[in-house]
């Protein structure tokens, strides 16, 4: 380190290291010392620039990450500071910084929810990095450790909605309603807001409805073309509107201060944030703060249940979770139509995906499921097993050709490269790409079968995966 830095003569130190770096600009020791001098001279942007240059050369340079964190912290760029410290979380000082920055990352509303719920010494943090909200571990969490425990009295429940005056009236009309438990959760929400207009939990809810499928425009939906995802979204929205109209007639007083737009917003919230548990011997639906912030993963690192011994919703770790790891839940084995219409997102090449080619008839990514569905149609054709299969596939090929999409697969893939992630349009394109790949693969399968498959081709059919499992199941018909 330069004597100028020891003597706190930072401009002189900067000048010295700048001269040295002209001779050897990749010397990380000189760069980190100049970054330190810039930092003490309150030239934080220049210090950040030097640290970034170091990290381009040495990704795990501890001092560069630390200095970046300090610069971002002083300039109140909390998320960037948090990320810098996360890169060196094994250092005790960085761990302390991560915990001290947690309130700035969480925001006051979430901190207020913690205080309201009496959550002490939390091991998670709500994050919103790159426009994607989620739950992150802010401490090391061991397998089977409790991540979250909240007493049922603090939660919004279906039962509390049923016990409202509106709930007692509505129960005589619920047989006409699909997913009536959502209505009771809305009643519970409205009741709580009347009692506590500034309820901490409700203040954490998103005000922007642009990510909620109920509020997507026809222009956005039109990109889906023949995809039945569009129908799913419209049907769910219409169902919510029908419920609103029933309530308007049967329980008008609950809607005095709740517009249709507001009701759709509340229905969107309860649809995406409810948990089904068993309280005693009875099923119960709950809305659980913080747990409802977890994103979906095929292999979640948490599990949740109702602990009847302490009358609380509990979430545990299913594996060791490192500081900085995201906490994940599983939303179940669902195709993109469900994920899009309920949650507003899709998964790339979703293995549970399917494409509707006519009412109640689907082509699946899983060829075995498609083959089972084909059994319904085989009885309508006559001839040898091969003749029947060819006739069926010709019919299916015709149904595929009727489908219409305003964009091609190649256009959708190109769109993803040049547009912002995590928007409704982004997830729509992801879903379309998944669907079109299914259709593309089925067209290839059908064309193989309708042609004259060689012995070599048919041998490959025996080892098919995904859509081509179908070929494994019918290859004997083409001997």
- What is the residue-wise DSSP string for 122-153? --EEEEEETTEEEEEESS-B-TT-EEEEEEGG
Q: How confident is the model over 238-262, as pLDDT tens digits?
A: 999 999 998 988 888 877 778 899 9
Note whether residue 471 is domain-resident.
Answer: yes
Flag whether pLDDT at 1 surpasses 70: no
Flag whether pLDDT at 141 surpasses 70: yes
Q: Which domain holds residue 225?
A: 151-329
93 lies in the same domain as 59: yes
186 lies in the same domain as 307: yes
Note whether residue 34 is domain-resident.
Answer: yes
Number of compact structural domains in the chain:
3
Tokens standing for 432? 């379309």
Q: How confident is the model over 318-370, as pLDDT tens digits?
A: 999 999 999 999 999 999 999 999 999 999 999 999 999 999 899 999 999 99
Flag whether pLDDT at 2 surpasses 90: no
Q: What CA–CA distance (Å, rounded) separates 55 from 63?
A: 10
Q: What CA–CA distance (Å, rounded) separates 329 from 331?
A: 6
Note whether residue 275 is domain-resident.
Answer: yes
Least confident of 24-28, 79-83, 185-189, 246-250: 246-250
Q: What CA–CA distance (Å, rounded) separates 478 from 455?
A: 9
Boundary (domain end) residue, out of 329, 364, 379 = 329
174 lies in the same domain as 202: yes
Note whether residue 325 is domain-resident.
Answer: yes
**pTM (2 decimals)?**
0.90
Q: What is the CATH number of the domain that holds 44?
A: 1.25.40.10
Least confident of 38-42, 211-215, 328-332, 373-377: 373-377
Residue 91 burial class via C-beta count within 10 angstroms: exposed 0-12, middle 13-18, buried 19 and up:
middle
Q: What is the CATH number of the domain that holds 322?
A: 3.90.1410.10
Report how far apart, in Å, the C-alpha atoms of 180 and of each of 11, 183, 319 are. 70, 5, 36
321 lies in the same domain as 352: no
- Note the helical H segments in 141-227: 158-162, 165-170, 180-195, 200-203, 218-222
Note whether residue 120 is domain-resident.
Answer: no
279 lies in the same domain as 358: no
132 against 197, higher pLDDT: 197
Tokens standing for 167? 């709930």
Q: How confident is the model over 418-473, as pLDDT tens digits?
A: 999 999 999 999 999 999 999 999 999 999 999 988 888 888 898 889 999 999 99
325 lies in the same domain as 355: no
Tokens standing for 332? 């179940």
Quote the DSSP letter at residue 321: B
Note whether residue 110 is domain-resident.
Answer: no
Note whether residue 12 is domain-resident.
Answer: yes
163 lies in the same domain as 310: yes
Question: Rg of the chain over CA atoms, in angstroms?
Answer: 29
196 lies in the same domain as 77: no
Note whether residue 226 is domain-resident.
Answer: yes
408 lies in the same domain as 289: no
Flag whether pLDDT at 41 surpasses 70: yes
284 lies in the same domain as 254: yes
375 lies in the same domain as 474: yes
186 lies in the same domain as 316: yes
162 pLDDT tier (thresholds 50, 70, 90):
very high
Q: How confident is the model over 391-405, as pLDDT tens digits?
A: 999 999 999 999 999
């Amino acid at each position: 380190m330069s004597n100028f830095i020891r003597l706190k003569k930072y401009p002189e130190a900067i000048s010295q290291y700048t001269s040295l770096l002209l001779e050897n600009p990749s010397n990380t020791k000189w760069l980190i010392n100049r970054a330190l001098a810039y930092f003490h001279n309150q030239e934080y942007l220049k210090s950040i620039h030097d640290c970034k240059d170091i990290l381009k050369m040495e990704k795990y340079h501890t001092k560069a990450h630390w200095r970046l964190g300090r610069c971002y912290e002083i300039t109140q760029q909390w998320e960037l500071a948090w990320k810098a410290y996360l890169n060196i979380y094994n250092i005790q000082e960085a761990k302390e910084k991560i915990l001290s920055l947690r309130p700035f990352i969480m925001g006051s509303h979430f901190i207020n929810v913690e205080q309201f719920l009496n959550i002490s010494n939390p091991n998670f943090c709500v994050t919103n990095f790159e426009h994607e909200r989620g739950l992150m571990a802010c401490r090391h969490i061991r397998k089977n450790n409790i991540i979250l425990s909240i007493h049922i009295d603090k939660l919004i429940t279906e039962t509390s909605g049923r016990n409202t005056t509106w709930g007692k009236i509505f129960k005589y009309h619920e047989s006409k309603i699909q997913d009536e438990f959502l209505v009771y959760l809305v009643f519970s929400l409205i009741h709580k807001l009347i009692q506590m207009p500034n309820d901490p939990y409700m203040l954490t809810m998103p005000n922007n409805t642009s990510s909620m499928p109920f509020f997507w425009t026809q222009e956005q939906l039109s990109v889906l073309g023949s995809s039945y995802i569009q129908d799913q979204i419209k049907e769910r929205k219409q169902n919510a509107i029908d419920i609103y109209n029933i309530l308007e007639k049967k329980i008008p007083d609950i809607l005095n201060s709740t517009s249709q737009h507001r009701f759709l917003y509340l229905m969107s919230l309860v649809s995406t944030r409810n948990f089904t548990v068993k309280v005693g011997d009875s099923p119960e639906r709950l809305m659980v703060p913080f747990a409802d912030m977890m994103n979906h993963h095929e292999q979640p690192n948490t599990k949740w249940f109702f602990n009847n011994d302490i009358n609380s919703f509990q979430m545990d770790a299913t594996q060791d979770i490192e500081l900085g790891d995201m906490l994940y839940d599983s939303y179940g084995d669902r195709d993109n139509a469900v994920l899009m219409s309920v949650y507003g997102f899709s998964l790339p090449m979703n293995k549970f995906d399917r494409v509707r080619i006519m009412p109640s008839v689907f082509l699946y990514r899983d060829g075995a499921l498609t083959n089972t569905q084909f059994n319904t149609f085989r009885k309508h054709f006559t001839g040898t097993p091969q003749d029947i299969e060819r006739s069926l596939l010709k019919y299916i090929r015709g149904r595929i050709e009727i489908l219409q999409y305003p964009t091609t697969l190649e256009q959708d893939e190109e769109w993803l490269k040049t547009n912002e992630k995590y928007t409704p349009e982004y997830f729509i394109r992801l879903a379309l790409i998944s669907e079109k790949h299914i259709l593309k693969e089925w067209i290839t399968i059908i064309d193989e079968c309708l042609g004259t498959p060689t012995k070599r081709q048919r041998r490959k059919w025996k080892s098919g995966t995904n859509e081509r499992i179908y070929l494994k199941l019918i290859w004997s018909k083409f001997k």
